[in-house]
Structure 1
Amino acid sequence: MNIGVVIPAFNEEDYLEKCLAALNDAQKSCMAQNIQIQILVVLDSCSDKSIEIVQARKIDYLECNFRCVGKARDLGVRHFIAQGVGWVACTDADSEVTHDWFIQQCLHQPTDAICGIVEINNWHTLSEQVKRDYLLHYQDKMHHRHIHGANLCFSTEAYLLAGGFDHLECHEDVGLVEKMQSLGLKISWSNKLRVVTSARLVGKAPQGFSYFLLNLC
């Protein structure tokens, strides 16, 4: 299986190194299996040291000036489509995939898309009440209905059928999955695919995951 990983980044020097290190660990975990991994960071309007972090790890990257996560993700996915990659996995620069992330994607085949879950990396920055409210809302189980751009995978055929990510500043992930659902494509809602994400309250996408946490405070 050939998997292309797309990571949009807008000034993510504080998180990007850990994100790439986690992907490297996950890649090593499946070296004995027939899984080919290509990682691509889409540097969108970066003015910090994000590009230096990517270059130091010798990771492929594209540069753009969209300031739009939907356009950045779409650029990365279509880059892989042009290379003939059949499966794309999306995550975020402030998130860390688990060591079996790629293996789980293979175990879920055949499917058109997989919606995984996210875990908060550090509850210490949030109140106990916020933690309780979040855990009351969040469904860490199979057949959940959460959609996260930090943990979303799909076949490129399904992506093209659905028309790809809309060029939105947020909720492009929800839009894509809803379009796939309207086409009757097979979507796997799994808590086996896990990603640890930051608890920051000021995110890069308006009304994204950070906005959700902030509204719980």
Structure 2
Amino acid sequence: MSGAAPEPITHVTVVVPARDEERLITRCLTSIAVAREHLRITHPTPVDVRVIVVLDRCSDGTEYAAQSAGVDVVSVDAGSVGAARRIGMTRALSNPTAHQTLSDQHAPVRPPARRHWLLSTDADSAVPVEWLRTHVELAAGGAQVVAGLVRPDDCTAPRVLSRWHAAHPIHLGHDQIYGANLGIRADTYLLVGGFPAVDTGEDRYLVNAARAIGARIVATDRGTVTTSGRLDGRAPAGFAAWLRQS
């Protein structure tokens, strides 16, 4: 894809799918709040940041934890992480400023898709303080998709952790794709049809679809996300399965 110079990002929406993550989701949402404050303080122009948690068949206290964090919450019966991410993105695009209060005097203004950055992470993950700024800066530099890295947290068994790092060296220009650290400009997301409603691999599908239309994909080792090192993950063939096999 080619054309005019990229427009600056004015809106960011972070979509967090969750299934029974009451133990870890507060860590996730707190880390996003810290990254949002860092972006507010350090970025030269204002960027509106919204967080949407998609509760997929939750039966524990995840909903209460998410609501306590003051983010937007939607409950669904999707049964797959791909469908949950897709629903969250659809919500973001249909009303990106829905977090405005009823006392607001002006109707919400939907930002142009070319200025709206869609971000994905997971409820069992924690983003670094520079995460949002990294994505916004790379988008301003022309990225239409940003593929970031993840690393298992320190709770992972040392033997498993050492094998993981040996098999997944962190370097710039990597070819790894993780739904826990993936960003895409909204107009590109719409053009490729969004996340598919599948049990696993929705992140790779989205990036491959963007690559097929010539979108500029930037792989970065900045803003690496910490994710749970548990071996019993929610998605089949997901990150936990990768850890077990690494």
Say which SS state the counterpart of residue 147 (structure 1) adopts.
coil
Of 60, 81, 105, which residue of structure 1 is paired with 2:72?
60
Query: For the residues of structure 2 that align with 1:40 and 1:69, how far apart are their CA atoms?
Result: 14
What's the % identity of the aligned pairs?
Answer: 30
Larger radius of gyration: 2
Query: For the residues of structure 2 that align with 1:159 and 1:139, how far apart are their CA atoms?
Result: 29
Map residues 167-182 of structure 1 onto 2, 5 A cutoff: 167-182=197-212
Question: Is 1:185 aligned with 2:194?
Answer: no
Map residues 52-201 of structure 1 onto 2, 5 A cutoff: 52-83=64-95, 84=110, 86-109=116-139, 110-122=142-154, 124-128=155-159, 130-201=160-231
Match of 1:19 in 2: 28
Say which SS state the counterpart of residue 89 (structure 1) adopts.
strand
Query: For the residues of structure 2 that align with 1:193 and 1:125, how far apart are their CA atoms?
Result: 20
Q: Quick check: which one's strand share is greater?
A: 1
> TM-score, normalization: structure 2?
0.84
Contact 2:152/2:161, CA 8 A, preserved across alignment: no
Match of 1:40 in 2: 52
Match of 2:243 in 1: 213
Query: For the residues of structure 2 that align with 1:215 and 1:53, how far apart are their CA atoms?
Result: 32
CA offset digits 1:122-168 (Å, max 9, x no partner): 1x54242x333211221311100110000000011111111111110
In terms of mean alpha carbon deviation, does 162-171 or 30-39 score higher?
Answer: 30-39
Structure 2 spans left out of the alignment, 5+ residues: 1-9, 96-109
Residue identity opposite 1:67 in structure 2: G
In terms of mean alpha carbon deviation, does 134-143 or 57-66 score higher?
Answer: 134-143
Query: For the residues of structure 2 that align with 1:157 and 1:125, how far apart are their CA atoms?
Result: 38
Query: For the residues of structure 2 that align with 1:125 and 1:88, how far apart are their CA atoms?
Result: 29
1:19: Cα distance to partner? 0.4
Contact 1:10/1:67, CA 8 A, preserved across alignment: no
CA offset digits 1:153-204 (Å, max 9, x no partner): 0011111111111110011001111111111110000011311111000000
Residue identity opposite 1:20 in structure 2: L
Residue identity opposite 1:161 in structure 2: L
CA offset digits 1:6-59 (Å, max 9, x no partner): 000011111101001101111111223312110000001101000000111221
Of 1, 14, 24, which residue of structure 2 is paired with 1:5?
14
Query: For the residues of structure 2 that align with 1:169 and 1:24, how far apart are their CA atoms?
Result: 28
Structure 1 spans left out of the alignment, 5+ residues: none
Say which SS state the counterpart of residue 11 (structure 1) adopts.
coil
